[in-house]
Amino acid sequence: MHRRHAARATSAGPRAEGAGPFTTRLTWQPPGGGTAVWESRPARRRGVIAVRPSGAPAGRDVSADDLTLGRLRRLNALAATAFVLGGALFAAGAAIAQFGSGDATTCASVYFAGGLFFNTGGYVSLLQVVNAPRHEPGGEGRLVTRGWRWWSYEPARVDWLSTFVLFAGTLVFAVDLLDSFLRGLDVQQVNRLVWAPDVIGCLLFLISGHLAFVEICHRARPCLRSRSLGWWITAVNQLGSVLFMVSAIAAYTRPATGSLVNADIADWGTLLGAGCFSAGGLLQLYERP
């Protein structure tokens, strides 16, 4: 347990776990006895909190109200579908570039369409956090639903920060994709207007993935949770982010020659990374209430 969170735990009070300023799991004794455990990802994705009544042989998941669960299902389905389609279109764009089945404008158009789906998936992922049911520390062990919101500012929550950085990454990619339609650019302009936003977007994706691991692992270092669907979703998406970064580095245009570092690695990195995001979206369809 992180030292800061360990200092919060007492025999009488709640026990908090996480990394740095982030609390990702909280355990306490409700007034009626027993134990209640709130975990960030299950609460916001599936709308559940674990409760073990006093004297009971095993715990059970207590769900939020039906209205909240319906909201979570719809948001999850929309975000997952957007990532599936966005990844598929990015993979198609990379295939066009690799196998030469279309011109540069066609390739850029397919990438741009995929980017729109990534933008949608990123924002809806943020909405999932903004509108997730909240816990009541020290309460009876239930989740409370607030009114619908289109935005919030909660940087002290690791789930909010992870999804916000993800959404910001998709917006930076949008700049890269729009600039890719420009023609007649010199090498310096290509690297500044197209390549630099690509690298920044990939870096934001990697940061978002690391924060998602913090939420699941309840610590700063990555962990292995082979039985956790949320862990697999995060791991597959993070692999996609790594492949995107490899692709971006290989797509740097050498000023001396005007050629890419390695066009094949750039195309294949994008294709395989996009496949990971589509696979992560498919898995996310099953992480629902």
178 and 185 Cβ atoms separated by less than 8 Å: no
- pTM summary value: 0.92
CA distance 84 to 282: 6
* Confidence grade of residue 3 (pLDDT, cut at 50, 70, 90): very low
Give yes or no for residue 10 having a pLDDT over 80: no
Give yes or no for residue 49 having a pLDDT over 80: yes
pLDDT per residue as tens digits for the range 160-198: 999 999 999 999 999 999 998 988 889 999 999 999 999
Looking at residue 184, its pLDDT comes to 86
pLDDT > 90: percent of the chain: 74
Give yes or no for residue 26 having a pLDDT over 80: yes
Which comes out higher in pLDDT, residue 82 or 134? 82
Looking at residue 11, its pLDDT comes to 43
Looking at residue 103, its pLDDT comes to 76
93-115: average pLDDT: 87
* Confidence grade of residue 159 (pLDDT, cut at 50, 70, 90): very high
Give yes or no for residue 273 having a pLDDT over 80: yes
Looking at residue 14, its pLDDT comes to 85
* Confidence grade of residue 71 (pLDDT, cut at 50, 70, 90): very high
Q: Which of 83-92, 113-122, 133-142, 246-255 has the lowest mean pLDDT?
A: 133-142
CA-wise closest residue to 206 among 230, 228, 222: 222
CA distance 185 to 41: 45
pLDDT per residue as tens digits for the range 185-233: 899 999 999 999 999 999 999 999 999 999 999 999 999 999 999 999 9
251-260: average pLDDT: 92
pLDDT per residue as tens digits for the range 53-68: 877 777 788 899 999 9
* Confidence grade of residue 8 (pLDDT, cut at 50, 70, 90): very low
